[in-house]
Chain A
Amino acid sequence: EAGVTQSPTHLIKTRGQQVTLRCSPISGHTSVYWYQQALGLGLQFLLWYDEGEERNRGNFPPRFSGRQFPNYSSELNVNALELEDSALYLCASSLEAGATSTDTQYFGPGTRLTVL
């Protein structure tokens, strides 16, 4: 069974540009999560999508946005890139979410974004 996949693996952009990162969850998983791992800041929760809806959002500005498609894949969009957006962006998926969930979040390999 294929795991969570992300594309691209690496990306270099300049300040002010826009970027789109993509994630395909494990087959059968309906929840997709995005995390940012910036140097010195650790892993920070960005967004959670479930059944096509944004369910929760971390403490990030509105220029970070995304969506989930009917096939449960997801995109993360970052507008007006800033130098501090340079990070590893990790996507995760789970079978179900919420208080009764017994399923862990399975992580993809990440997209390394460098902003110059």
Chain B
Amino acid sequence: KQEVTQIPAALSVPEGENLVLNCSFTDSAIYNLQWFRQDPGKGLTSLLLIQSSQREQTSGRLNASLDKSSGRSTLYIAASQPGDSATYLCAVETSGSRLTFGEGTQLTVNP
């Protein structure tokens, strides 16, 4: 059974800092890994999708890496802003188009 773990569970940083969120998964037989953002009480917004054959993806201030063999991914956020405050979720897609999510990292960026 696939399990996804995210560390840390919560993170509070001052504005402007660079930060790294971590995600690990137990079964390397994945099709892709995705990072999502969820604002309180809202749905999910897709940030980055990394196919299993890829090593990283970048979008603006965000960079996600994938090491499938070790079952790890990181999300790097550069020059954090208060608007980045949200819960960040990591999810892996396995057979049957099933997404398995981590518990998330709650990020607070203080002005």
Contacts and interface: CB of A to CB of B under 8 A. Distances in A.
Interface of A: 4, 31, 33, 35, 42-45, 48, 50, 55-56, 58, 88, 90, 92, 94, 97-99, 101-102, 104-110, 112
A48 B96 contact: yes
The 8 closest A-B pairs by CB, nearest first: A56-B96, A43-B101, A107-B44, A97-B97, A107-B43, A109-B43, A104-B46, A104-B49
Given A42-B102, A104-B34, A33 B45 contact: no
Interface of B: 31-32, 34, 36, 41-46, 49, 51, 89, 91, 93, 95-104
A42 B103 contact: yes
Contacts of A92: 44
A50 B97 CA distance: 10
Nearest to A88: B41
Give the most central of B49, B51, B97: most A CB within 10 Å: B97
SS of B interface (majority) = strand
SS of A interface (majority) = strand
Contacts of B97: 31, 33, 48, 50, 55-56, 94, 97-98, 101
A48 B97 CA distance: 8
Contacts of A88: 41
Contacts of B101: 42-44
Contact of B43 (A31, A90, A94, A98): A90
A106 B46 CA distance: 7
Nearest to A94: B97
